[in-house]
A and B are shown apart, each in its own frame.
Chain A
């Protein structure tokens, strides 16, 4: 690979503005956040391939599983190779995923869509997701929650952009498609959409790769004293390698925390539209229209995005452990209220769901800073990548739990509030498990720390 991509070529000088880093990170996260906007063309693909909804849903599932696997396997390479090389690679994989999938749609070969968007795109997702995280943490040692919250907010924001943009592009490529519920675009329009998105995201992510910079060695922002970090019990100044981190109970407790938080959030996100209609069903008809239910889904997207930034930034003030107690503890209480009283007033239902989803987003965005606190910055990107396998597992477990309960009651869109209670209360149990796991987290034992002489040189490679 060209030397332009090497870590040594990306190290900034002392006067470099750190506020140039978040736009580079956002360029990547806003692009890969498209993965949450697949519902726009899902029905079109079902029609085009003559396949079941499940067969098309598998494309998304493969992408999320590949995200977790690639982040886990390639995290160390990302940390040591530097963010520019990682972002460049992520851009190539993510764009190639769209192009190969477009070929699959054009030639009506679903396996090519699995390979393209699912496998190649999923690898781009995994590398892209973790690529700016460790860099941001090192540029913002005083506010790591704010920094990672900004980038990971972009992942939520990516869907907000891709969803209406895809709709408009599909209408341009297929005049018969009006974007309304029940309307499907033809296959060639979806293929053209994939090529367009591939080109746009390639350019955006390459911009991020070109402008990202690594903080100079021993960087500290003006007016910030690194010694203040030593005063906090849950914040280490030591370094733990990714290999050692997975041997600690703290790593696995955090894995459980993320798994429980994500599974519970997916419980609502997965069924948001039919759920709000079912909660306010009286007899056969629902008081909430399909259009209004679409508005509810939009509101949840906003809550998801806002939570990533607001709660993660708040964690810089109140601490990582307390904020996860809020996500999981208060989240569990809100889930109980939703299950028992959600059907009373629409505004109550909407408010509870909005806050719950903001906690879901916050859980994602605060994780890198929590990892930094416990394991240090040495290989935080690689450790984050390994923790993200919890997301993949939750992506499978969450829908499975909810669908199994709901299938036993009937078809979502024809149910009533009481039919959701078993699924929602199961999520409460999961949140309580996550709450206990978070409570058990203590500072990492010294035997897992890297030797001082090693940390003084090795992190230089990981900076």
Chain B
């Protein structure tokens, strides 16, 4: 595969990219989907950690 403008990488690049507005929405959805479970895990773990100091 040569590194030219005719390469599939170049010809396909960006063809299926969502619009700028859709990208902003996807950013919100994506980070929420991973952030919420992570927050749940953090809170649950912190509740466990508290027992270390309260016995």
Contact = CB atoms under 8 A, between A and B. Distances in A.
A296 B30 contact: no
Interface of B: 1-3, 7-10, 12-17, 20, 23, 26-27, 30-31, 33-34, 37-38, 40-42, 44-46, 48-55
A161 B33 contact: no
Nearest to B14: A13
B3 A299 contact: no
A12 B10 CA distance: 10
Given A15-B20, A19-B27, A211-B26, A295 B34 contact: no
Contacts of B2: 457
A226 interface: no
Interface string A287-301: 001011111111101
A26 B34 contact: yes
A254 to B, nearest CB: 29
Contact of B33 (A23, A291, A302): A23
Contact of B3 (A8, A19, A457): A457
Contacts of B27: 17, 19-20, 23
Contact of B34 (A23, A350, A457): A23
A302 B47 CA distance: 12
A204 B30 CA distance: 11
A27 B33 contact: yes
Given A13-B13, A295-B49, 20 more contacts: A8-B8, A9-B16, A16-B23, A23-B31, A26-B34, A27-B33, A157-B41, A159-B41, A162-B41, A216-B9, A216-B13, A216-B14, A217-B10, A217-B13, A292-B53, A294-B51, A295-B51, A296-B52, A457-B1, A463-B9
Contacts of B23: 16-17, 20
B52 A461 contact: no
Interface residues of A, number: 51
Given A164-B41, A295-B53, A460 B1 contact: yes
Interface in A140-176: 154, 157, 159-165
A372 B31 CA distance: 26
Contacts of A13: 13-15, 17
A294 B13 contact: no
Nearest to A21: B30
Nearest to A161: B41
Contacts of B15: 13
A11 B23 CA distance: 15
A258 interface: no
